[in-house]
A = this chain, B = another copy of it.
Amino acid sequence: MSSSNYYDVTTWPTGDPSEDVGEVINSIIADIKERQNASDVNDGGKPGAVIYLPPGDYRLRTQVLIDISFLRIQGSGHGFTSSSIRFNVPEDEWPDLHELWPGGSRVLVDLPELPGNGADPAKGAAFLVERTGSPRISSVEFANFCIDGLHFAPDGSELPAENTYVNGKTGIHVSSANDSFRVNEMGFIYLEHALTIHNADALSIHNNFIAECGSCIELRGWGQASKITDNLIGAGFKGHSIYAENHGGLLVTANNVFPRGASSVFFSGVTRSSITNNRLHSFYPGMVVLERNSSENLVATNHFLRDHEPWTPFLGIDNGLDDLHGVLSVSGSNNSVIGNHFSQIIDSEHIRPEGATPVTIRLREGAGNFVSNNHVVARNVHATSSDDCFEGQVDALLATDAAEALAVTAVLVDPESTRNTILDSGSEAQVLADRAANAIRATPTTHGEA
């Protein structure tokens, strides 16, 4: 036996990895399948392989198709640098920049045909995982390399092309039911969809850097018992940082989700799952949305910060939701919302509808939700912006002094949501709910406060 299940794209005889690493990897996969062609030899026979991408620029012109279990694709560097900042620097300054492009073990997604609006996004994927039959494809691992979509494309708006977050490209698309997959230490950038996984079981998405993508993590179809943990994530204004549908037992924890996703976490028909212990930051309402009867979930000890876009190139952009939508919006039953901190730092002149009282937690439909021990801090700021992305954000983040108190509705319960329990999550005046239909204990206040 030799170490022949270890492959290096730079030493493989077929194809040129700098010109088309997709061709190289497909050729390697074909070799693995040819060599590992019997499913039961000495209690084994198909152990899979590892494909290594040393640091380097690898253009991908051919989609990689993965249809074998136990394949690990691995690099030595997640390679993120901000393309968004770079493309918003005047072009005549580019020669002075140390580097223009992301790096590490970097795959440049350059497929000849990309899906347009409404087309199957799988066609635009650098890595497509698809296999029919039984068992479900298992234990595919992606680790520590970079997938870069290179450019965004015009979207018909007045936005510069590089700011649209659309280009038809996907980093990894899994279309078949799968088990025990891992995505660890990866970098994703400038993709319309970073990571889309259908029908996942016991999936782990851990310690990745997924930013400046249209949408970052999308768990589609249905699935169970998965985790999205300890990632740095920030989607574009049209997409979601974390999206899941029809999942049960999903654990979303220890993520630092920064702007500017339309939502930080969006659950549709998700049950018995957890959003706990994350740091969430957004420039719009609808930061966390539980919709389509998402029930029996736990939303606990998260830090929510909703403030304003401070970076000039994206001023005026939003996700279309007004301030009555709720920073956290719940359509579903028997959820628990416990021990969260909300900072709602808004320029009162920008509130929509004009003159409205912004809503922090909104229960829209369902019954039996338990909302307890949430702390809502609301401040009125005069929003400012800066041409410098990093300094603008840090300045805004650190400015807690200048602001004055802002009146908010801490909890709004719509008539379609009943029999909820709301404890210590807002003063008597801050909780708008039918007291006959819901059990409410207002947060105590000192004399003279509401």
Asked whether, in the complex, the Cβ of A77 is within 8 Å of the Cβ of B50, the reply is yes
Cα of A278 to Cα of B424 in the assembled complex, Å:
24
The interface size bin for chain A is 35 or more
Interface residue from B5, B150, B229 paired with A55 (Cβ < 8 Å):
B5
Q: Given that A251-B254, A446-B419 are known contacts, is A139 also in contact with B394, CB under 8 Å in the complex? A: no
CB distance from A341 to the nearest CB of B (A): 4
Asked whether, in the complex, the Cβ of B47 is within 8 Å of the Cβ of A106, the reply is yes
Asked whether, in the complex, the Cβ of B80 is within 8 Å of the Cβ of A55, the reply is no
A93 contacts which chain B residues (CB < 8 A)?
A: 134
A390 contacts which chain B residues (CB < 8 A)?
A: 136, 177, 179, 201, 224
Q: Which chain A residues (50-91) contact chain B, with CB distance < 8 Å? A: 50, 54-57, 59, 68-72, 74, 76-82, 85-86, 89
Asked whether, in the complex, the Cβ of B246 is within 8 Å of the Cβ of A398, the reply is yes
A377 contacts which chain B residues (CB < 8 A)?
A: 296, 334, 368
Cα of A163 to Cα of B55 in the assembled complex, Å:
42
The answer, yes or no, to whether A117 is at the interface (CB within 8 Å) is: no
Asked whether, in the complex, the Cβ of B1 is within 8 Å of the Cβ of A98, the reply is no
Asked whether, in the complex, the Cβ of A339 is within 8 Å of the Cβ of B341, the reply is no
Interface CB pairs A-B, < 8 A, 19? A43-B57, A46-B98, A69-B103, A71-B77, A77-B141, A81-B135, A86-B135, A97-B135, A98-B131, A98-B134, A103-B139, A225-B256, A230-B230, A249-B258, A251-B278, A253-B277, A370-B375, A421-B443, A439-B444
CB distance from A104 to the nearest CB of B (A): 5
Asked whether, in the complex, the Cβ of B232 is within 8 Å of the Cβ of A230, the reply is no
Asked whether, in the complex, the Cβ of B232 is within 8 Å of the Cβ of A227, the reply is yes
